[in-house]
Structure 1
């Protein structure tokens, strides 16, 4: 009887360990320091992929630029990031996105994201809580139906977002008349929805310089409208493609 009881207890223990209790599937993290620390832990613990939705209003997490992200990317962790278009207007927006793209991260742009979100290896997610108090808080969601829902939300936003390219990485067309890195940055930002003035500000160029470069690209491709230029830029692989 003792052996049977021990066997039953061992089985119960294994079942409990394999299937966490419902209240263990979601953690509530409060305080800016705690939320920031949990965000870093998600990245440091990732082994395959980190997916993120980024807004222009950071609270506990100040942006994409941090040591944990660089370390994770250095270990071969893939990053897929969707940013709101307004992020491009932030003083450090272009700098951080350029750094992310230089680490071979995939970055896309949409008008607005539904919420801030980070998903690591499709097994853990961090989503902020909206509260009336001034203290930041977030939910850490473990493997569950809720996590699948959050992962599905990211994939839906990712599918509708526009790829961003900054610099000449991946371009195979070369020559004296080929677009340079600045031309490609201008095209990518224009396709992301920025105005000529916003592009000029972000790239620290004069407005006339931006317009002159766009005109030269139109002449180079033999088109008369910017819509046609966008099509030719896509066909010639001047702008990032979805993949």
Structure 2
């Protein structure tokens, strides 16, 4: 009798044991949380990891940049130039305050010169870099004075961060002027006019545009009046419409 009872209990336990073994094998085959997310602490460590992500990208780097961007100390342009030489595409959304940084306009001009696609919005939710949709870096904010960041590998969180970038990108305004139209229209705007138009359409004030382009306020206002006369626009809203229609500024897909 006791032997029969023991055998019966064993038979009942076998399916449960098999189920637990299968759950263990499934969990072992899946990447652990530590493999999906890295925590990087310290300004130097965050900068090094950001540099590594940029250098290892093979297809595309996407970035959201706030008014206080995460920077790589020294050689930033050299890194991005090497990426462009390898055929790595780059899409960047700038928060408007990013242009108030000391080298903001210089870096924007350099980025456009490298063929990067740059857009602007009033506010971006966070600094973010996504490389090849396979790796992302997002800074951690908190009360601690020590900078830190999350490096996110493939998984649901990475998809969420990639989706965040695409959502902000769709709503942002391109900053690339239609410079190729200048030579075709000698009586039209020059390069400085196109830069002014692009920044005005992005929402900057005359004073901000003058500061960013290192021009006098009256010079900016005079150029805007000339463009309005050239297009027959009575308001700046009409000027923006005419600028888009004439290809002086471009709206990317």
TM-score, scaled to structure 1: 0.88
Does structure 1 conserve the Cα–Cα contact (< 8 Å) formed by 2:38 and 2:151?
Answer: yes
TM-score, scaled to structure 2: 0.84
**2:44 equivalent among 33, 39, 43:** 33
Stretches of structure 2 lacking an aligned partner (at least 5 in a row): 1-24
Pair 1:110 & 2:121 matched: yes
Pair 1:145 & 2:145 matched: no
Count residues in correspondence.
227
Aligned-CA RMSD value: 1.9
Does structure 1 conserve the Cα–Cα contact (< 8 Å) formed by 2:46 and 2:149?
Answer: yes
Return structure 1 stretches of 4+ with deviation > 4 angstroms: 59-64
Query: Is the helix fraction higher in 1 or 2?
Result: 2
Which protein shows a greater Rg?
2
Q: Which residue of 1 aligns with 2:169?
A: 158
Q: Deviations over 1:124-164 (max 9, x none)?
A: 00000112111100000000000000000000000000000
1:200, 1:64 → 2: CA distance?
Answer: 28
The residue correspondences of 1:118-133 to structure 2 (distance < 5 A) are 118-133=129-144
Does structure 1 conserve the Cα–Cα contact (< 8 Å) formed by 2:69 and 2:98?
Answer: no
Q: Deviations over 1:79-102 (max 9, x none)?
A: 000000011222211100100010
Pair 1:54 & 2:70 matched: no
Stretches of structure 1 lacking an aligned partner (at least 5 in a row): 1-11
Distance 1:144 1:28, change over 3 A: same
